[in-house]
């Protein structure tokens, strides 16, 4: 790069973008990076770097444009072709992504080579060539030692390919091998520790919601001073929250936040940092926490709400104007009382789906490493156990909320009759149904989706996922026994 730069040179723009990213000023970082036009007089390396920055900012279309310019200057840049292919796949441009990989004709580093082969196999499956995907992955496994993380990803891709070929026994074997390798990567002791901690958290949450007096909500409303209308969409991962969120987000009166951390960092974390449990029993600590929430000063609630709104605005990077905000995030289940304390008029949409489908779908999510919730997804029976506890938590909360602040939406209803289910949820949020909401997938294909289901939201609604678990019923027997009481309670029976 040149030693002397101007304020608007490619080097200065990229340096400033990096600085803003480091300072977590994403809106300013996006605007700065966007000032570097794809036709700017930049070097190939500068364009490649710009593409990497755009990916970090979830601006995949911009990243694609930058990578294109870089590859025009260095068309045989192998790592650049791989990066471009990854972005095209993220934009659901599967054929173009595959063609980018086909252009790689120079050796890649071992980890990148494994990533390219796994991505190519994944694309072949998506392009209805799952048999070729299986052959490619078989060759990859036979090629020699692979990094452990590459083995995890490749085995999961093999599961997907064999599932498409209806080789369910082979698919299940690949999936469980991927899970075994991931457990080895994380460490069994660490996973067990995380599981125990999360189960204890579920028990405490249920106790809190059970002990909470909903009559306090009226007092909270009397002292409410926020002016933004914010509502919440919650549910266990894979319950259909992403589908419903995209249907609602197609309404011009609403803007949705898709699994961002604003609520965690701006409300939960500051509040929990100040709470000091001093009781000698769990029951005493529950009562102390409820008292702590209730006694939060009006000024503190106002400050928390404002910080939360400001961070959402920063994360969304779009004008909010007077639109209703819908924060969709399964994690908000953990902090529902804090949500009500800072936004006592908030409405809660509870996404519900057949527990057997939820558990199977969660178990099949691709994973390298684990999150607190995802720590259970290394084992099918543990996945069912965690779902059982999660259901107790949200159901206890649901029973305490006023009717006008709660609504259950069923995934199966949304799939079978999008307009009716979508209209009900839309009107629950005091909005009128708009025709374009039925064609939500047209808009969803243009937005960044944080959920692992990003490839599905750009498609029309399909029904194939509803009973997919039945293909693997023989391996789900112990989990099905755990789920039977919940299925009956939630009216999911055969």
pLDDT surpassing 60 at residue 460: no
Q: Does the pLDDT value for residue 222 go beyond 90?
A: no
The angle that helices 10-22 and 26-34 make with each other, rounded to 10 degrees, is 170
Across residues 119-145, what is the average pLDDT? 94
Pairing verdict, β 230-234 and 406-410 = unpaired
Token reading at 289: 């926490």
What does the radius of gyration of the chain's CA atoms come to, in whole angstroms? 24
Architecture of domain 188-465: 3-Layer(aba) Sandwich (3.40)
Pairing of strands 348-352, 406-410: parallel
pLDDT at 455: 52
CA 447/CA 59 separation, integer angstroms = 9
Q: How far apart are CA 402 and CA 217, in angstroms?
A: 9
Q: Is the pLDDT of residue 4 over 50?
A: no
**pLDDT recorded at residue 471:** 96
State the first-to-last Cα distance of the chain, in angstroms, to the nearest integer: 66
Of 91-95, 175-179, 243-247, 439-443, give the lowest mean pLDDT range.
Answer: 439-443
**Minimum mean pLDDT among 35-44, 218-227, 385-394, 413-422: which range?**
218-227
Sorted by where each begins, the domain ranges of the chain are: 1-106, 188-465
Question: Do residues 366 and 154 lie in contact, with contact meaning Cβ atoms separated by under 8 Å?
Answer: no
pLDDT at 462: 60
Q: Which of 314-328, 371-385, 457-471 has the lowest mean pLDDT?
A: 457-471
Q: Rounded to an integer, what distance in angstroms lies between the CA atom of residue 221 and that of residue 454?
A: 37
Q: What is the pLDDT of residue 449?
A: 53
Instruction: Characterize 312-343 residue by residue with b for buried, 16 or more Cβ atoms within 10 angstroms of its Cβ, and e for exposed.
Output: bbebbbeeeeebbbbbbbbbbbbbbbbbbbbb
Task: Please tell me the least confidently modeled range out of 55-64, 141-150, 439-448.
Answer: 439-448
Phi-psi region of 235 (alpha: psi -120 to 50; beta: other; left: phi over 0): left
Q: In three state form, how does the secondary structure of 282-345 look?
A: HHHHHHHHHHHHHCCCHHHHHHHHHHHHHHHHHHHCCCCCCCEEEEECHHHHHHHHHHHHHCCC
DSSP 277: -
Neighbours of 271 (CB within 10 A): 20
Helix axis angle for 380-400 and 355-363, nearest 10°, is 130
Q: What topology does CATH give the domain 1-106?
A: 1.25.40
- Interhelix angle 188-211/168-186, rounded to 10 degrees, is 90
Phi/psi for 66 (5° steps) reads -65, -45
pLDDT-above-70 percentage for the chain: 93
pLDDT at 312 over 80: yes
Please give the model's pTM, rounded to 2 decimal places: 0.89
* 136, 117 contact by CB (below 8 A): yes
Look at 137 and 31; give whichever has higher pLDDT.
137
Distance CA 377, CA 387 (A): 10
Q: CA 191 → CA 8, 331, 374, 440, distances in Å?
A: 48, 19, 9, 38
Whether pLDDT at 175 is above 70:
yes
Report yes or no: 26 and 317 within 8 Å, Cβ to Cβ: yes
At residue 131, the pLDDT reads 97
Residue 466 has pLDDT above 80, yes or no: no
Average pLDDT over residues 347-363: 96
DSSP letter, residue 406 = E
Question: Would the pLDDT of 348 be above 70?
Answer: yes
pLDDT band at 3 (very low <50, low <70, confident <90, very high): very low
DSSP symbol at 267? I
Q: Give CA angle at 101 (99, 106), nearest 5°.
A: 130
| pLDDT of amino acid 224 | 73
At residue 1, the pLDDT reads 43
> Virtual CA dihedral for 89, 94, 100, 102, nearest 10 degrees?
130
Confidence of residue 68 (pLDDT cuts 50, 70, 90): very high
Q: Is the pLDDT of residue 444 over 70?
A: no
Report the distance separating Cα 422 and Cα 426, nearest Å. Answer: 6
Mean pLDDT rounded to a whole number for the chain: 90
């Amino acid at each position: 790069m040149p030693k002397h730069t101007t304020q608007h040179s490619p080097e200065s723009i990229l340096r400033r973008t990096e600085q803003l990213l480091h300072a977590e000023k994403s809106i300013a970082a996006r605007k700065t990076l966007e000032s570097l036009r794809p036709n700017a007089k930049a070097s190939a390396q500068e364009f490649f770097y710009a593409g990497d920055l755009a990916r970090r900012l979830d601006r995949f279309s911009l990243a694609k444009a930058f990578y294109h310019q870089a590859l025009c200057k260095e068309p045989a840049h192998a790592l650049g072709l791989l990066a471009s292919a990854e972005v095209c796949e993220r934009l659901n441009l599967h054929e173009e992504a595959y063609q980018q990989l086909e252009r790689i004709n120079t050796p890649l580093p071992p980890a990148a080579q494994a990533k390219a082969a796994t991505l190519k196999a994944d694309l072949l499956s998506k392009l209805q060539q799952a048999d070729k995907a299986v052959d490619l992955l078989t060759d990859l496994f036979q090629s020699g030692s692979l990094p452990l993380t590459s083995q995890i990803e490749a085995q999961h891709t093999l599961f997907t390919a064999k599932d498409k070929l209806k080789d369910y026994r082979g698919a299940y074997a690949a999936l469980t091998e991927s899970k075994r390798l991931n457990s080895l990567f994380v460490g069994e002791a660490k996973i067990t520790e995380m599981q125990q901690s999360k189960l204890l958290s579920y028990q405490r949450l249920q106790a809190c919601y059970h002990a909470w007096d909903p009559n306090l909500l009226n007092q909270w409303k009397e002292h409410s001073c926020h002016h933004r209308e914010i509502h919440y969409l919650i549910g266990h991962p894979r319950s259909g929250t992403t589908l419903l969120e995209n249907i609602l987000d197609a309404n011009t009166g609403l803007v949705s936040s898709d699994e961002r951390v604003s609520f965690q960092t701006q409300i939960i974390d500051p509040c929990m940092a100040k709470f000091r449990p001093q009781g000698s029993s769990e029951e005493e600590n529950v009562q102390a926490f409820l008292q702590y929430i209730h006694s939060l000063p009006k000024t503190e609630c106002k400050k928390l709400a404002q910080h939360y709104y400001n961070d959402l605005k920063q994360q969304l990077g779009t004008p909010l104007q007077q639109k209703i905000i819908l924060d969709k995030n399964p994690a908000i289940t953990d902090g529902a009382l804090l949500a009500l304390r800072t936004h006592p008029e908030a409405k809660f949409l509870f996404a519900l789906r057949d527990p057997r489908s939820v558990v199977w779908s969660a178990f099949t999510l691709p994973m390298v490493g684990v999150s607190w919730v995802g720590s259970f997804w290394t084992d099918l029976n543990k996945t069912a156990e965690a779902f059982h506890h999660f259901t107790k938590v949200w159901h206890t909360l649901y029973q305490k909320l006023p009717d006008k602040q709660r609504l259950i939406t069923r995934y199966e209803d949304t799939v079978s009759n999008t307009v009716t289910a979508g209209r009900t949820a839309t009107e629950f949020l005091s909005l009128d149904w708009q025709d374009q909401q039925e064609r939500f997938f047209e808009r969803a294909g243009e937005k960044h989706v944080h959920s692992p289901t990003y490839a599905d939201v750009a498609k029309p609604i399909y029904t194939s996922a509803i009973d997919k678990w039945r293909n693997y019923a023989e391996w789900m027997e112990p989990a099905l026994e755990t789920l039977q009481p919940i299925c009956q309670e939630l009216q999911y029976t055969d």
